[in-house]
Amino acid sequence: MRELLTKYKLVIKFIITFLLVYSVLTIGYNLYLKLSDGSKYYPDYMTNLVARQTDALLNSVGYEANVLPHPKEPSMKVIINGKFVARVIEGCNAISIIILFLSFIIAFSGKLKTTFFYCFAGSIIIYSFNLIRIVILSAGLYHYPWRREVLHNVIFPMLIYGTVFLLWMFWVNRFSKNLKANA
C-alpha cells in the first residue's frame, strides 16, 4: 500500500487539492448566493452584471435590446426588438465554471506569482468568453428560435468548456511544476 501511495503521490495530491479548493470555493459561492438579498441587484450581483453587460453589448452591435427582471423566477429576461429571447439565470454568470477552472489550476499549481496571474487572466478570459457566448446565443435565438436546443444545450456549452479545457492544457504544458517534477 505504501508503495502505491508513493508511486501515485502526485495524483493523490492533485485530487485532494482539487476537491478541497473546489469545495471551499463552491461553499463560499453558495453562501454568497444565500446572503445576497436581491433587492439592489436581482437575482444576485454577478447574474445581474452579466445580464446588464449582455444588454450593453447587444445594443452596441445594433440590436435594440433590453434586460428586465423576470417576475416569476430569479432571472433576467433578455428582450431583443421587443421579443423575449432568453433569460440569464445564476448558472449563466460563469462563476461555477471559473470555480472549476481555478480548482484545477491551483491543484496543478506552478510558481505562486505565475499561478495567481494565470488564475486571474484565465478567469477574465472565461468571463469575457461567456459574456460573448450569451450575446451570440441571444442573437441566435432571436434569428433562429427553432434552433434553441442545439444552440443552448450543445454548441455553446461545448465552446465554453472547450475554452476551459484549452486553458487547462496550456497551463499544464507551459507552467505547471507538477508536470516538470514528473518528467
* Residue 39 scores a pLDDT above 60: yes
Over residues 81-96, the pLDDT tens digits come to: 999 999 999 999 999 9
Question: Which comes out higher in pLDDT, residue 38 or 60?
Answer: 60
The per-residue DSSP string of 107-167 comes to HT--SHHHHHHHHHHHHHHHHHHHHHHHHHHHHHHHH-GGGHHHIIIIIHHHHHHHHHHHH
What's residue 178's pLDDT? 55
Q: Are 88 and 50 in contact (CB under 8 A)?
A: yes
Residues 7-31 have a mean pLDDT of 94
Matching residue, cell 506569482: 113
Q: Average model confidence (pLDDT) for the chain? A: 91
Q: What is the pTM of this model?
A: 0.89
Q: What does the alpha-carbon distance between residue 129 and residue 126 come to, in Å, rounded to a whole number?
A: 5
What's residue 183's pLDDT? 47
What's residue 97's pLDDT? 96
Torsion, Cα 58 39 43 59, to 10 degrees, reads 0
* Residue 77 scores a pLDDT above 70: yes
Residues 40-47 have a mean pLDDT of 90
Going by pLDDT thresholds of 50, 70 and 90, the confidence category of residue 38 is low
* Residue 51 scores a pLDDT above 70: yes
Q: Are 85 and 145 in contact (CB under 8 A)?
A: yes
Q: Are 122 and 106 in contact (CB under 8 A)?
A: no
What's residue 3's pLDDT? 83
Q: Are 26 and 99 in contact (CB under 8 A)?
A: yes
Residues 55-80 have a mean pLDDT of 95
Q: Which amino acid is at 31?
A: L
Q: Shortest CA distance to 177 belongs to which of 101, 107, 99? A: 107
Over residues 113-149, the pLDDT tens digits come to: 999 999 999 999 999 999 999 999 999 999 999 998 8
